[in-house]
Amino acid sequence: MRTTNVISSLALAAVFVLPATLHAQRNASNVPFRSGQWGAEFSASNDFQSLGMMRFFSPRRALAFDANLDNTSTSIDGSDAETSNTSYGLSVGYRMYRPLTSGVVGHLTGGLRVSSSSTSITNGAGVTTDNNTRGYGPFGEIGASYFVTPHLSLGAAYGLEYLMTSSKQGATDSSGHSLGSSPLSVRISLYF
Spatial separation of the C-alpha atoms in residues 131 and 51, rounded to whole Å: 26
Spatial separation of the C-alpha atoms in residues 51 and 91, rounded to whole Å: 11
Q: Which of 68-77, 81-90, 131-140 has the lowest mean pLDDT?
A: 68-77
Average pLDDT value over all residues in the chain: 83
pLDDT of 103-129, one tens digit each? 999 999 999 999 998 988 888 777 888
What integer pLDDT is reported at residue 125 of this predicted model?
Answer: 75
Burial class (CB in 10 A: 0-12, 13-18, 19+), 168: middle
Which of 189, 170, 168, 171 lies closest to 123 in space, CA to CA?
Answer: 170
